[in-house]
Amino acid sequence: MTRTNIPQLSKTRFMAGLQCLKRLYLESYHRELLPPVDASQQALFDSGNAVGVLARGVNPGGLLITEDYFNHDRAAARTRQAVADGSIPSIYEAAFTYDGIRTRVDILQRLNQDVFALAEVKSSTSVKQEHIPDSAVQVYVAEGSGIEIRNIYLVHIDRNYVFQGGEYALDKLFYREDVTAQVRSYMETSIISDLARIRDALAQDDTPAVDIGRQCTKPYECPFFSHCREGLPDHHVEQLPGARVALLDSLKSAGITDIASIFSGFPGLTRLQERVRESVVSGEAYVGRDLATELSGVEYPLRYLDFETFNPALPYYLGTRPYQVIPFQWSMHIQHADGRLEHREFLHEGPDDPRPAFISSLSDAAGNSGSIVTYSGYEETRLKQLAGDFPEYANSLLALVDRMYDLLKVIRAHYYHPAFHGSFSLKAVLPALVPELGYEDLEINDGSMASVAYAQMIHPATEEFERGRIYAALLAYCQRDTEAMVRVFGLLRSVPR
Ligand code: SF4
């Protein structure tokens, strides 16, 4: 049995199908399985939209087709009128339907009366492989609708742009890359067969049988990631840290899906993966011989330090670049040799650049002695970046770097617990080692939520009450991170050798 009535395709569905036919099928017929869009994803969409709107200014004076997705036929009719009107230099959000596919084109630029250039706007800072079929399907539909396309461009953000204040200099903020040859080549070799494959999958009565794999996160994180993992072994082989495709393929060929079923000496396992395997098989934590020595290599008072940052696509502050990482908050727990614990913190509030106040408050709290305990090298990287951006503070910032002690590195090298499930992130380590302390009670409970919340807090349209709520939630989250480090460090020091 096959379905006779398959839904219309769109660029989004076409791209979903290229990533995974199961994803496309579920998105088309089982939308109830889609998880709700979270705040981080929404922020990403909003940022992409803002970039798209701004990029129209690269081809100014065009006509915007305002009809939305639900009024596609009217949008297509408006587009046909605009195409016929030679006085319109560009059409934004031009709508076309051909061969059962609907698409909207970001910018259709008129080169002469009947010939156009097509531009797809992306928030990325370079052309990516997946952008080629993404543009190609638009060209296929536009040309099928009778439009002659001479050039195809990818308009993306130029990472080297430096914001000078005022209006963005669009000719510098955006980079227009000619992808005509790549798109034409894909159209000649692959688009027809890809469309046939996609339509064939959609015509089936049953969901395509696709194993989980690399495609679940590449090029995009699939919304069915959790759904497709329901019922898998608790220690699925995918959890092996740094597992390469070749290893996963050979485990698959051997019929092994559970780490517990991997035999000792399985070819291709790294030392870390072998350690994970042993720990899962025995159900016991691995404790390296040198763990205690490594943990004693610190100097009191210990300062457990964590930063929160955000990296807007469109730069906010003078002298910053697109996607530049801007630290806006830190939390520090200070542990003295006698066990006394203090907490210090900083969170910038206003619309101005948070970095000067961030640096001065941090320098003050960090003192001149004692180890600065972090979880990963992220804080070190940020301090080095700040030292480059604010050379007047470089010496004091780099002096902090000299005192840093990376707890993640130590755990990764000397400790493993089966409940880590292959991850050494604090969010995975904490529940395994300190089950009574988690993040579930917090409104903000990961770094990307914190970034989104900060951008919302400083947005001029955000009301005072809402700002206060976000401010409190950010403080609670960052404080929890450093508290978690204190507890994890303490627990590891008490682990018997
Ligand atoms: S999670 Fe992976 S296998 Fe499942 S639909 Fe998405 S891409 Fe396909």
Shared domain check, 391 and 486: yes
Shared domain check, 297 and 268: no
Position 406 in a domain: yes
Position 433 in a domain: yes
| Atom 1 of ligand 1, nearest CA residue | 225
- Candidates 216, 218, 217, 198; CA nearest to 208 is 198
Residue 1 has pLDDT above 70, yes or no: no
Ligand 1 contacts (CB < 6 A) are: 20, 22-23, 26, 210, 212, 215-216, 222, 224-225, 228
Q: Would you place residue 262 in the very low, low, confident or very high pLDDT band (cuts 50, 70, 90)?
A: very high
Cα 57 to ligand 1 centroid, rounded to whole Å: 37
Mean pLDDT of the chain: 96
Position 216 in a domain: no
pLDDT digits (tens, 9 = 90+) for 64-75: 999 998 999 999
CA of 19, closest atom in ligand 1? 7
| Atom 7 of ligand 1, nearest CA residue | 216
Position 219 in a domain: no
Tokens of 166: 């005022």
User: In angstroms, rounded to a whole number, what is the distance separating the alpha carbons of residues 366 and 378?
Assistant: 17
Shared domain check, 481 and 333: yes
Cα 255 to ligand 1 centroid, rounded to whole Å: 20
Single residue among 251, 283, 315 that ends a domain in this structure: 283
CA of 212, closest atom in ligand 1? 3
Position 213 in a domain: no
Residue 495 has pLDDT above 90, yes or no: no
Shared domain check, 144 and 43: yes
Cα 423 to ligand 1 centroid, rounded to whole Å: 21
- Going 281 to 285 to 291 to 292, the CA torsion angle's sign is negative
Single residue among 201, 218, 239 that ends a domain in this structure: 201
Residue 487 has pLDDT above 60, yes or no: yes
Domain, as residue range, for 235? 231-283
Shared domain check, 249 and 337: no
Cα 213 to ligand 1 centroid, rounded to whole Å: 8
Residue 496 has pLDDT above 90, yes or no: no
Position 70 in a domain: yes
| Atom 2 of ligand 1, nearest CA residue | 216
Cα 22 to ligand 1 centroid, rounded to whole Å: 6
Mean pLDDT of 11-38: 96
Shared domain check, 274 and 317: no
CA of 223, closest atom in ligand 1? 6
Shared domain check, 460 and 393: yes
Shared domain check, 237 and 176: no
Give the pLDDT confidence score for residue 3 in this predicted structure: 84
Cα 271 to ligand 1 centroid, rounded to whole Å: 29
* Number of separate domains in the chain: 3
pLDDT digits (tens, 9 = 90+) for 341-362: 999 999 999 999 999 999 999 9
Position 217 in a domain: no
Position 4 in a domain: no
What CATH code is carried by the domain that includes residue 174? 3.90.320.10
Shared domain check, 94 and 67: yes
Shared domain check, 344 and 195: no
For 224-243, what is the HEC assignment? CCCHHHCCCCCCEHHHCCCC
Q: Where are the beta strands (DSSP E) in 123-231?
A: 148-157, 174-178
Q: Where are the beta strands (DSSP E) in 113-194?
A: 115-121, 148-157, 174-178
pLDDT digits (tens, 9 = 90+) for 418-462: 999 999 999 999 999 999 999 999 999 999 999 999 999 999 999
Cβ neighbourhood burial of 362 (10 Å; 0-12, 13-18, 19+): buried
User: In angstroms, rounded to a whole number, what is the distance separating the alpha carbons of residues 83 and 108?
Assistant: 9
| Atom 5 of ligand 1, nearest CA residue | 23
Shared domain check, 444 and 303: yes
Shared domain check, 294 and 276: no
Pocket test for ligand 1, best of 18, 27, 224 (most atoms within 8 A of CB): 224
Cα 215 to ligand 1 centroid, rounded to whole Å: 7
